[in-house]
Amino acid sequence: MPEKSTVQARKRKALATTQRFLPVAEIRGNAMMLKNGGMRAVLEVEALNFNLKSETEQQGIIAGYGSFVNSLTFPIQISIRSTRTNIDEYLGKVKESGQQQKSQLLRDQTDSYVRFMQKLIEVADIMEKRFYVVIPLDHSVRKKTLVEQFLDWMHLDDTLGKASARNREFPGLIKQLNERCELVLSGLTNIGLHARRLDTRELIELMYKVYNPKTSQLEKIPADTDLLNTEKTTL
Q: What is the pLDDT of residues 10-45, one digit of tens each?
A: 555 555 556 677 788 889 899 998 887 889 999 999
Percent of all residues in the chain with a pLDDT value above 90, rounded to a whole number: 31
What is the reported pLDDT for 6? Answer: 60
Q: What is the pLDDT of residues 103-114, one digit of tens each?
A: 888 888 888 988
User: d(Cα 138, Cα 159) in Å, to the nearest integer?
Assistant: 19
Flag whether pLDDT at 234 surpasses 50: no
* Phi, then psi, of 196 in degrees rounded to 5: -150, 155
Residues 169, 20: contact at Cβ < 8 Å?
no
Taking Cα atoms as reference points, which of 149, 174, 140 lies closest to residue 23?
Answer: 149
Please name every residue paired with 11 in a beta bridge, in sequence order, or none if there are none: none
Helices 88-99/104-124 angle, 10° precision:
170
User: d(Cα 135, Cα 181) in Å, to the nearest integer?
Assistant: 7
What is the reported pLDDT for 79? Answer: 93
Flag whether pLDDT at 84 surpasses 70: yes
Q: Which residue has the higher pLDDT, 179 or 98?
A: 179
Instruction: Please report, for the chain, the start and end positions of each structural domain, with discontinuous segments joined by +.
Output: 23-83+129-234, 86-125
What is the reported pLDDT for 221? Answer: 76
pTM score: 0.69
Q: Which residue has the higher pLDDT, 149 or 229?
A: 149
DSSP string, 168-220: HHHHHHHHHHHHHHHHHHHHHHHTT--EEE--HHHHHHHHHHHH-TTHHHH-P
Residues 27, 207: contact at Cβ < 8 Å?
yes
**Mean pLDDT, rounded, for 188-206:** 92
Q: What is the rounded radius of gyration, in angstroms, for the C-alpha atoms of the chain? A: 23
Q: Which residue has the higher pLDDT, 229 or 150?
A: 150
Among 145-159, 180-194, 204-218, the range scoring the smallest mean pLDDT is 145-159
Flag whether pLDDT at 119 surpasses 80: yes
Residues 20, 155: contact at Cβ < 8 Å?
no
Length, in residues, of the chain:
235
